[in-house]
Amino acid sequence: MRVIVTGGAGFIGSALVRHLVLEKGYDVLTVDALTYAGCKQSLTAVEGKTNHRFLKADIRDSAAMAEAIGSFRPDRIMHLAAESHVDRSITGAADFIQTNMVGTFVLLEAARGYWNGLDAQAKAAFRFLHVSTDEVYGSLGADGLFTENTPYDPSSPYSASKAASDHLAKAWHRTYGLPVVVSNCSNNYGPYHFPEKLIPLTILNALEGKALPVYGKGDNVRDWLYVEDHARALDLIAERGRPGETYNVGGRNERRNIDVVRRICSVLDVLVPTEQSREGLIAFVTDRPGHDARYAIDATKLETELGWRAQETFDTGIEKTVRWYLDNMWWWQPLRERYDGKRLGLDGKVE
């Protein structure tokens, strides 16, 4: 099996590459532009493996994409490259439009050109997995879950750009027959998560005795999934998902942001005791504009049709994650020094 993974130097992409290269033994080409969010150190575990290659390239570069796909000749393309941080999309949407929308269009076209030249058997077996987010569905009230039939209603420039890319991917299936499958997943957490995101930011600030910023009152609810459970789901969807279909991915682990932050404090207080609980560091900050109240995924289709189950609960996954950050300072320290709070969208406005 030959697989191209775009965005493979990112958080979820690197977990997927580790899974495909080390667990499955597939031949993998990672394509990544190494933006601020891309980190080759996240691929240390596959460095030197004969079944892994890395190409630094931008998905918006149509010649580079055609060349990469044409020469590697993949059975699958798994597309994760994206601008992914909601706060950054609010202060500067242009990169999100360019990479998430234009980049996805360029990649779909390059894939279509290659796919058109395959023989009938290879054409039928080929898959283009477009990896997306549950944020395309907008916000839920206190009840209900996002299903694959929930209408799109994105709130942020990030989720709007991802929604547009989902529509492009589905149109390339309906119009041209390209065997596209789309996955929409809830919030991920785990090792190699860029230090600007809520969970790693909380772990690292708590370790350093810094304020733990929480938007609004911390009431916003997210449905958390351990990143390695997501990587297994993506492999399964690419292998057995039906072209033209969407699969929702989620861990049935709804938590209020404030409870996530408190849980991290209590895990850290046990692993690295301090005189006072780190909960005292929690600082409520001005809410993000357009902040969705609640996301929650109904993953029944993935569970019943493809037999996927999350292996981690939130409690087991968060403890693994905290331990990983404690043991892997070599990975996060340089990133933290480079980006420390500068573009976290919080502007130091601690209330």
Name the 3-class secondary structure at 225: strand
Asked whether the beta carbons of 220 and 294 are under 8 A apart, the reply is yes
Least CB distance from residue 351 to ligand NAD, whole Å?
26
11 binds ligand NAD (CB under 6 A): yes
Stretch that binds ligand NAD, among 47-55, 127-135, 281-289, 313-321 (CB under 6 A): 127-135
Out of 3, 4, 5, 7, the only residue in the binding site for ligand NAD (CB under 6 A) is: 7
- In angstroms, give the least distance from the CB of 11 to ligand NAD: 4
Q: Which residues are catalytic?
A: 134-135, 158
- Cα torsion angle, 197, 203, 206, 207, sign: negative
Alpha-carbon distance 115 to 129, whole Å? 14
- Amino acid making up residue 351: E
Per CB under 6 A, 103 contacts ligand NAD: yes
- Is residue 112 involved in binding ligand NAD (CB under 6 A)? no
Q: Which of 170, 143, 158 is nearest to 296 (CA)?
A: 143
The residue among 12 and 108 lying less far from ligand NAD, judged by its C-beta, is 12
Q: Using CB under 6 A as the criterion, what x/- string covers residues 130-149 for binding ligand NAD?
A: -xxx----------------
SS3 131: strand
The kind and range of the H/E element at 202 are: helix 198-207
**Residue 191 near residue 321 (C-beta atoms within 8 A):** yes
Q: Tokens for 112?
A: 């279509």
Q: Measured between alpha carbons, how far is 136 from 148 in angstroms, rounded to an integer?
A: 11
Exactly one of 162, 294, 301, 336 binds ligand NAD (CB under 6 A); that residue is 162
Neighbours of 27 (CB within 10 A): 19
Stretch in the footprint of ligand NAD (CB under 6 A) among 54-62, 66-74, 116-124, 259-267: 54-62
- Out of 5, 10, 301, 344, point to the residue binding ligand NAD (CB under 6 A): 10
CB of 80 to ligand NAD, least distance (A): 4
Query: Between 80 and 238, whose beta carbon lies closer to ligand NAD?
Result: 80
Q: Is 43 one of the binding residues for ligand NAD (CB under 6 A)? A: no
Q: How far is the CB of 119 from ligand NAD (least distance, A)?
A: 29
Contact pick of 3, 4, 5, 9 for ligand NAD (by CB under 6 A): 9
Least gap, CB of 161 to ligand NAD (angstroms): 9
Could you give the strand order of the β-sheet that contains 52-56, starting from the edge strand earlier in sequence?
52-56, 27-32, 2-6, 76-79, 127-133, 180-185, 246-249
Q: Does 195 bind ligand NAD (CB under 6 A)?
A: no
> Binder to ligand NAD among 28, 82, 163, 203 (CB under 6 A)?
82
Helix, strand or coil, per DSSP, at residue 151:
coil
- Cα(first)–Cα(last) distance of the chain, in Å? 53
Instruction: Identify residue 174 by its one-letter amino acid code.
Output: R
As given in the structure block, the two tokens for residue 138 are: 């907008």
Q: Is 188 in the site for ligand NAD (CB under 6 A)?
A: yes
Chain-centroid distance, C-alpha 148: 18
Site for ligand NAD in 197-256 (CB under 6 A): none
Contact residues for ligand NAD, defined by CB under 6 A: 6-7, 9-13, 32-35, 37-38, 58-60, 80-84, 99, 103, 131-133, 162, 185, 187-188, 194
